[in-house]
């Protein structure tokens, strides 16, 4: 998805609507992308700046943080950037000699940022393992190891 910018003038906008990343090898954390669609436009504003304005949405398939089952995670990314900022942030996406913008690279870098570090749909998952088990997510002061009680006082600001 390469957009040619040499034909862009202040009166016109290049509008686009693409389904992206279909049948492509993806990141290790993103197992699949479904209904990934980008819609928007590239235009030149009155200052002569070239602006990319688009919405990138769809559904990524990622692993559940607890069970490692594949689960859907919806995303909706709004991109509204000046081309000069894009060149600075995504220098590999813009080729000055050809005056083109590789939209696919920009979208990929934005979706990688959207992947959650930890995400689970299964709230009732078995939280036990070999030699461990989650008893309670809340830590009470009575649960603190007595050898570390003095550190608790330091955190409270007590002497």
Q: What is the pLDDT of residues 8-35, one digit of tens each?
A: 666 678 888 888 887 777 778 888 889 9
Q: Please check whether residue 79 lies inside any domain of the structure.
A: yes
Q: Which whole number is the average pLDDT over 63-91?
A: 82
Q: Please check whether residue 36 lies inside any domain of the structure.
A: yes
Q: Is 16 in a helix, a strand, or coil?
A: strand
Closest-CA residue to 18 (of 103, 114, 112)? 103
Number of domains in the chain: 1
Based on the number of CB atoms within 10 Å of its own CB, is 11 exposed (0-12), middle (13-18) or buried (19 or more)? exposed
Give the pLDDT confidence score for residue 97 in this predicted structure: 43
Q: Please check whether residue 13 lies inside any domain of the structure.
A: yes
Give the pLDDT confidence score for residue 55 in this predicted structure: 95
Q: Please check whether residue 33 lies inside any domain of the structure.
A: yes
Q: Please check whether residue 149 lies inside any domain of the structure.
A: no
Give the pLDDT confidence score for residue 89 in this predicted structure: 66
Give the pLDDT confidence score for residue 140 in this predicted structure: 60
Q: Please check whether residue 15 lies inside any domain of the structure.
A: yes
Q: Which is more confident, 77 or 81?
A: 77
- Residue labelled with tokens 């609507």: 17
Answer whether residue 155 shows pLDDT above 80: no
Q: Please check whether residue 32 lies inside any domain of the structure.
A: yes
Give the pLDDT confidence score for residue 126 in this predicted structure: 62
Alpha carbon distances (Å) from 63 to 114, 127, 135: 14, 16, 24
Please give the Cα distance from 5 to 151 (Å, whole number).
61
Are 134 and 127 a contacting pair, CB within 8 Å? yes
Structural domain containing residue 107:
2-123
Give the pLDDT confidence score for residue 56 in this predicted structure: 93
User: pLDDT tens across 92-151, in order?
Assistant: 555 554 667 778 888 888 888 888 887 777 666 666 667 777 666 665 666 667 777 777
Q: 9 φ, ψ to 5°?
A: -130, 180
- Structure token pair of residue 39: 């819609």
User: pLDDT tens across 55-74, in order?
Assistant: 999 999 888 877 788 889 99
């Amino acid at each position: 998805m390469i957009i040619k910018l040499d034909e862009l003038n202040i009166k016109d906008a290049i509008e686009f609507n693409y389904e992206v990343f279909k049948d492509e090898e993806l990141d290790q954390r993103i197992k699949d992308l479904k209904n990934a669609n980008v819609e928007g436009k590239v235009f030149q504003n009155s200052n002569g700046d070239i602006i990319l304005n688009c919405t990138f949405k769809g559904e990524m398939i990622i692993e559940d943080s607890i069970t490692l089952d594949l689960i859907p995670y919806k995303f909706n990314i709004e991109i509204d950037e000046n081309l000069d900022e894009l060149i600075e942030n995504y220098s590999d996406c813009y080729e000055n000699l050809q005056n083109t913008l590789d939209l696919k690279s920009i979208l990929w870098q934005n979706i990688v940022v959207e992947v959650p570090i930890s995400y689970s749909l299964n709230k009732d998952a078995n939280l036990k393992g070999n030699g461990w088990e989650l008893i309670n997510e809340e830590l009470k002061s009575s649960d603190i190891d007595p050898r570390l009680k003095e550190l608790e006082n330091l955190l409270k600001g007590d002497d």
